[in-house]
């Protein structure tokens, strides 16, 4: 009996040859903003001209920025009410904001994703308990709750990270649970179950890697929210304690002098917050489109 034998396959990859078509592919605007800030956060110690918590010797309080009348070229963006250099404070503040933003998101994301996966995959009473917990948590106003926790735990960088993480995990658990519900029905998951895999294995090998996309996009969008939350907490005095140069704290300290015309004390930190949050949102948007196989190739 002559059966046409099948030669071992000559593999021709059907994946698109080029992953990136050129400069158009990159999120230029968001990276143009984020990269300098991240560099500032990393190298603040080296770049900043002065110590952010020490007054500059020889300079008055409230020196305006260098290009204005009364300004001094030694303090490019001016000084605050304790003669501390605004520029140095901004650079060190970037570190705080970015650390809190990223770590807070990581904490929130981990808690939320874990809850979402357990609720979605295990179903039953586990699902009910987690979802009701999420509902209850969501009913609490985020900032108020954060303030409450902050007054309980006391101000410190790590406490803030944990607090913000504990406040913002709910947006993950909902979304991830929804995704897991649909992933659970995919054939490759069913196949793993038929092959005898136990839930732990199915979750770690099949479910988790496939929700990472969504979790990452959510994460990039959450960073902005967490940064604003931290700034709000610092503004209200329950965030990172002085004399740390957190941007929110700078805003708070300068609040009373805004009307007196010392605009550089509030505008610069405010603009920094604005830019970083905007950039993370844009980046998150780009990431979402990039990771979605259908939209990506247009």
Given the rule CB under 8 A, which of 30-38, 57-65, 194-202, 264-272 is the region that contacts other proteins?
194-202
Interaction between residue 291 and other proteins (CB under 8 A): no
Q: How many CB atoms lie within 10 A of CB 184?
A: 17
Give the per-residue contact string, 22-41, with other proteins (x = CB under 8 A; - = no). x-xx----------------
Burial of 75 (0-12, 13-18, 19+ CB in 10 A): buried
- Among 99, 101, 131, 106, residue whose Cα is nearest residue 212: 106
Interacting positions 72-131 with other proteins (CB under 8 A): none
Residue 11 or 46 having the CB closest to other proteins: 11
Interaction between residue 294 and other proteins (CB under 8 A): no
Residue 69 or 187 having the CB closest to other proteins: 187
| CB 205 within 8 Å of CB 118 | no
Structure tokens at 273: 């917050």
| CB 225 within 8 Å of CB 170 | no
Which residue of 46, 124, 154, 187 would you call a contact of other proteins, by CB under 8 A?
Answer: 187
- Residue 281 Cβ vs other proteins, minimum distance, rounded to whole Å: 23
Q: How far apart are CA 83 and CA 79, in angstroms?
A: 5
Q: For the chain, how many residues are written?
A: 298
| CB 151 within 8 Å of CB 133 | no
Interaction between residue 8 and other proteins (CB under 8 A): yes
Residue 48 or 211 having the CB closest to other proteins: 211
Residue 98 or 202 having the CB closest to other proteins: 202
**DSSP letter for each residue of 217-229:** HHHHHHHHHHHHH
Query: Measured at the alpha carbon of residue 261, what is the angle toward residues 260 and 262, in degrees to the nearest 5?
Result: 100
Residue 4 or 73 having the CB closest to other proteins: 4
Give the per-residue contact string, 207-236, with other proteins (x = CB under 8 A; - = no). --xx--------------------------
| CB 85 within 8 Å of CB 57 | no
Report how many residues bind other proteins under the rule CB under 8 A.
40
Residue 193 or 285 having the CB closest to other proteins: 193
| CB 23 within 8 Å of CB 39 | no
Which residue of 192, 267, 275, 291 would you call a contact of other proteins, by CB under 8 A?
Answer: 192
| CB 209 within 8 Å of CB 225 | no
Interaction between residue 259 and other proteins (CB under 8 A): no
- Catalog residues that contact other proteins under the rule CB under 8 A: 1-4, 6-18, 21-22, 24-25, 186-197, 201, 205-206, 209-210, 297-298
């Amino acid at each position: 009996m002559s059966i046409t034998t099948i030669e071992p396959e000559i593999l021709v990859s059907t994946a698109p040859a080029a992953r990136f078509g050129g400069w158009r592919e990159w999120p230029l605007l968001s990276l143009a903003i984020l990269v300098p800030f991240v560099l500032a956060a990393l190298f603040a110690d080296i770049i900043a001209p002065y110590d952010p918590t020490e007054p500059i010797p020889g300079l008055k309080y409230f020196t305006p920025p260098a290009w204005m009348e009364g300004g001094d070229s030694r303090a490019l963006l001016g000084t605050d009410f304790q003669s501390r250099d605004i520029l140095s404070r901004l650079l060190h503040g970037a570190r705080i904001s970015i650390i809190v933003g990223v770590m807070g998101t990581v904490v929130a994301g981990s808690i939320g994703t874990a809850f979402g996966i357990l609720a979605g995959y295990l179903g039953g009473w586990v699902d009910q308990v987690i979802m009701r917990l999420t509902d209850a948590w969501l009913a609490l106003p985020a900032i108020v709750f954060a303030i409450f926790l902050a007054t309980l735990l006391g101000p410190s960088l790590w406490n803030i990270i944990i607090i913000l993480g504990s406040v913002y995990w709910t947006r993950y658990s909902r979304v991830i649970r929804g995704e897991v519900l649909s992933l659970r029905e995919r054939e490759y998951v069913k196949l793993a179950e038929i092959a005898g895999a136990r839930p732990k294995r199915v979750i770690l090998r099949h479910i988790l890697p496939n929700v990472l996309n969504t979790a990452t996009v959510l994460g990039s969008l959450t960073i902005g929210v967490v940064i604003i939350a931290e700034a709000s907490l610092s503004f209200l005095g329950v965030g990172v304690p002085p004399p740390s140069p957190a941007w929110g704290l700078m805003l708070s300290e300068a609040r009373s002098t805004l009307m007196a015309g010392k605009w550089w004390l509030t505008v610069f930190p405010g603009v920094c917050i604005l830019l970083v949050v905007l950039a993370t949102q844009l980046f998150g948007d780009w990431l979402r489109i990039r990771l979605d196989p259908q939209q990506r190739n247009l």
